[in-house]
Structure 1
Amino acid sequence: MLKRILYICIGVTGMSCTFTACTTPALVEKSVNTSVPASYNNSQDTANTATTKWQAYFTDPHLSALIDTALQNNQELNITLQEIQIAQSEVRARKGEYLPSVGLKSGAGLDKVARYTNIGAMEATTNIEGDREMPEPLPDFMVGAYAKWEVDIWHKLRNAKKAAVLRYLSSVEGKNFMVTNLVAEIANSYYELLALDNQLDIVKQNIDIQANALEIVKAQKEATRVNELAVRRFEAQVLNTKSLQYSIQQRITETENKINFLLGRYPQPITRSSQAFSDLKPGNIQAGIPAQLLENRPDIKQAEMDLAAAKLDVKVAKANFYPSLGITAGVGFQAFNPSFLLKSPESILYTLAGDLTAPLINKNAIKATYYSANAKQLQAVYNYERTVLNAYIEVVNQLSNINNLEKSYDLKMRQVQALTQSITISNDLFKSARADYMEVLLTQREALESKFELIETKMQQMNAYVAMYQALGGGWK
């Protein structure tokens, strides 16, 4: 009996498929471009810094402790971890849709049928045992099992499950990409904090230098070698530099609290080693070849998973144009008296049915879903290509940035050395009346600015070192 039902359904399905296949709308398709340049700078060296674990890449123990704490407590990262659990639950739900569902059912009821009806008349003349009539009112007791199954002829349910699996994997890659960004953001903020500490030290040193110069000018005024204007100009310079230290202290507080926020904790001092900041040197960077970005960058892998899922969504939407075959079955016991429930075969009931449904008229909703799925697939294609292009450009930019910052730092170092020497020279010339006080003020200001720029360039070097690691796809393994 079951085979006969299946054969009939399959035959009708074949005819329906022939009819609906001719009416499936045509779509605009686009193939994804997965090609990347062969190299960054004509080098085929495959050694890649992205494979280095962040614990080995960032050797500062204070920075490592901060990153480790953030990976445990960062709220945004923990929210993403819950999204992974949601995606995993979606996989389970989709998997259950194409498997048969079986359940148990039991029930009891009471029914009184009017005597002067066809059913009532039949019940009145029905003898159950001997001359015993059917009870009135009529109880009804039932216990049994039932099953439902949609036969996945066109792999609609199976493709939906595969798409859910791909989106689960995509969420994992999204978490990895967030880890990469989190590690980079903490490292950049940490190096910014070290730079601010060093700038604050430079300001305090310059306050002492300018205060000494102010005392010299006051002595020169007592000796009538300069006027009150010189004293006021030097005093204004000292006050301006003193006010600068409070601006830097505010930036230090904000940067510390930014790190604390990333670590998921309330404000507290950040333990750090600021003395050796000027001696920090970016490590050796090995960029490898562009093709390795496809494997190392989590955002590229995430875009790839989303693209594969979008393609399956199109197949699922297309399957809605075809007939769906459902089978329902049930078996159990039913009687008006509980004592008769297990009396077989009289109390046994069973049912087996198959239904075949296919869209025929007014398929606008199905077409809309189909077109929407295809548009999302095209979006996924463009997003994948954009992500790959962006990754390549980020690496090229950082390679150039590291090279230019290295040259810039060397020149600024020489500038600081020259201006630092010029402070002593200008003070000596001023004491011997061979230089104007404005030259002393200008020299001190230029020396302070050059030292600030040197620290700023060192911070940019370290940020480029971090950005290069991030661009190559490091930090999440």
Structure 2
Amino acid sequence: MRNKRILNWAGITLLALIYTGCSVPPIAHRTENRTVPVGYNNSQDSTNTAKISWKSYFTDPYLTALIDTAFKNNQELNITLQEIEISRQEIRARKGEYLPFVGLGGGAGVDKIGRYTNIGASEATTDIKPGKETPEFLPDVQVAAFARWEVDIWHKLRNARKAAVSRYLASVEGRNFMMTNLISEIANSYYELLALDAQLAIIQQNIEIQTNALKIVRMEKEATRVTELAVKRFEAQVLHTQDLQYDIRQRITVTENRINFLMGRYPQPVQRDKASFANLVPNVMQAGIPSQLLQNRPDVKQAENNLAAAKLDVEVARANFYPSLSLNAALGLRAFSPVYIAKLPESLVATLAGDLAGPLINKNAIKATYASASARQIQAVYEYERTVLNAYIEVANQLSNISNLASSYDLKTKEVEALTQSVTISNRLFASARADYMEVLLTQRDALESRFDLIETKMQQMNATVNIYRALGGGWN
């Protein structure tokens, strides 16, 4: 009879498993595309600048000191570090879910059972000791160890832990990606600051040159060689150039404070070598091959880990359709009086139970969770592919930018040389009355603008070397 009951129970359980297993709704999954072009501009050279440490890539000691300070004090980076810690604790929590839980507890109480109830009538006829009935108010004292364990048949709990690990790794890559962005933001702002210093120095030089020219024009006017109109035009030109310096000073203040914000400190002067901009030479870049982006770019690895976690979430949601098996056990001592609780085996109590439960009817919530997990997995696939595509395009754009800026800088250098010579020539012709004062003014203005453009182009060149280093995935290591 007992064996027959066991067989019946096993048959019912098997039918439940078959029913729930066959009722899992099919959800379309999408596999990510991990193929990338074989090279940039048909180049197969695998030498990659991203492998260089940022302290070796940026050699300016003032710049490296700024970046070091930002790594310690930047609030956004510190917030990300706490997110990593949260992810780490999530792993511990998930691990604890599939391990047995054991606890120790105790309690005491008192019961009064009605005399004319079935329990009360039976207790009235039971002697605790010969000639002594069970007390009307019956105490209850117990101390026991208890355990419960959900048997992870379908690896639901283990997959949940693996998903937590993948999200932890994604948070680490998120920190690395933030580090590369922080380096590039500080470096770009630093080079912009040096360019503004150079432009301010040019303005001050031009103010001095134009002031001297104004003195000469006034002397020419006293000698009746020019009119008051020429004097006023030269004076206006001096005032215009003097006005330019205040806009540059404001931009310097804004740029300094942008760096201060990234460093997590209040406004203060940024230490730098103001004369070093003229000697800056863009680094020679080696882009390697596109497949290296999958290993070097932190945002690509972050998207990959998020995708892995999303796939595991689908498996966790699928496991909710199947029955879960839980085991509960307890072992302890129980008596109606502390005097008897240590008497063995009379006070010994033990329980062992197993629960097998699975969804049969109204599984809408489980189906919705499963469908949502599948949709998020497909969403993670698109996010991964978008991140890889964006990484490749960023590198391609910066490689093209570096090439075009190099050609532009060469042409602008020649333009500055020509206009600088034309300023000298126009002043000489004006002194010999063979050139109009307007020619002198226009030549000086064009020369000033060309020198500004040359500095701007050089700043863009330095920014391009920073941006390509970030686009290749350098800086976090």
Partner of 2:351: 351
- Aligned residue pair count: 475
Task: Tell me if the contact between 1:13 and 1:323 (Cα under 8 Å) persists in the aligned partners.
Answer: no
Partner of 1:257: 257
Report the alpha carbon displacement of residue 118 of structure 1 after superposing the two structures with TM: 1.7
TM, length-normalised to structure 2: 0.97
Identity of aligned residues (%): 68
* Distance in 2 between residues matched to 1:226 and 1:236, nearest whole Å: 16
The reply to whether residue 405 of structure 1 matches residue 400 of structure 2 is no
Report the alpha carbon displacement of residue 149 of structure 1 after superposing the two structures with TM: 0.7
Partner of 1:112: 112
* Distance in 2 between residues matched to 1:46 and 1:250, nearest whole Å: 44
1:227-376 aligned within 5 A: 227-376=227-376
Residue type matched to 2:414 in 1?
A: R
Residue type matched to 1:210 in 2?
A: Q
Residue type matched to 1:170 in 2?
A: A
Q: 1:17 to 1:366 in 2, by over 3 A?
A: same
Q: 1:214 to 1:81 in 2, by over 3 A?
A: same
User: Could you list the runs of 5+ residues in structure 1 that have no partner in the other structure?
Assistant: none
CA RMSD of aligned residues (A): 1.6
| Larger displacement relative to structure 2 (289-298 or 114-123) | 114-123
Partner of 1:19: 19
Task: Tell me if the contact between 1:124 and 1:134 (Cα under 8 Å) persists in the aligned partners.
Answer: yes
Partner of 1:476: 476
Q: 1:463 to 1:7 in 2, by over 3 A?
A: farther
Q: Deviations over 1:140-199 (max 9, x none)?
A: 100001111111111001100000000001100110000010111111011000000000
Task: Tell me if the contact between 1:329 and 1:351 (Cα under 8 Å) persists in the aligned partners.
Answer: yes
SS in structure 2 at match of 1:237: helix
Residue type matched to 1:230 in 2?
A: A
Q: Deviations over 1:274-324 (max 9, x none)?
A: 212122111111111111110000000011100011000000001111111
Partner of 2:430: 430
SS in structure 2 at match of 1:340: coil
Partner of 1:197: 197
Report the alpha carbon displacement of residue 12 of structure 1 after superposing the two structures with TM: 4.7
Report the alpha carbon displacement of residue 200 of structure 1 after superposing the two structures with TM: 0.3
Q: 1:5 to 1:80 in 2, by over 3 A?
A: farther
Partner of 2:180: 180
| Larger displacement relative to structure 2 (299-308 or 228-237) | 228-237
Residue type matched to 2:321 in 1?
A: F
Residue type matched to 1:373 in 2?
A: A
Q: 1:186 to 1:363 in 2, by over 3 A?
A: same
Residue type matched to 2:144 in 1?
A: G
Report the alpha carbon displacement of residue 17 of structure 1 after superposing the two structures with TM: 2.4
Partner of 1:101: 101
* Distance in 1 between residues matched to 2:288 and 2:326, nearest whole Å: 54
Partner of 1:149: 149
Q: 1:75 to 1:394 in 2, by over 3 A?
A: same
* Distance in 2 between residues matched to 1:51 and 1:115, nearest whole Å: 86
Q: 1:282 to 1:225 in 2, by over 3 A?
A: same
User: Could you list the runs of 5+ residues in structure 2 that have no partner in the other structure?
Assistant: none
Q: 1:430 to 1:162 in 2, by over 3 A?
A: same
Task: Tell me if the contact between 1:73 and 1:264 (Cα under 8 Å) persists in the aligned partners.
Answer: yes
| Larger displacement relative to structure 2 (9-18 or 402-411) | 9-18
> Which segments of structure 1 move beyond 4 Å, counting only runs of 4 or more?
3-13
Task: Tell me if the contact between 1:27 and 1:371 (Cα under 8 Å) persists in the aligned partners.
Answer: yes
* Distance in 2 between residues matched to 1:175 and 1:6, nearest whole Å: 56
* Distance in 2 between residues matched to 1:5 and 1:443, nearest whole Å: 107
Report the alpha carbon displacement of residue 228 of structure 1 after superposing the two structures with TM: 1.6
* Distance in 2 between residues matched to 1:215 and 1:9, nearest whole Å: 111
| Larger displacement relative to structure 2 (226-235 or 30-39) | 226-235
Partner of 1:136: 136
Partner of 2:444: 444
Report the alpha carbon displacement of residue 63 of structure 1 after superposing the two structures with TM: 0.5
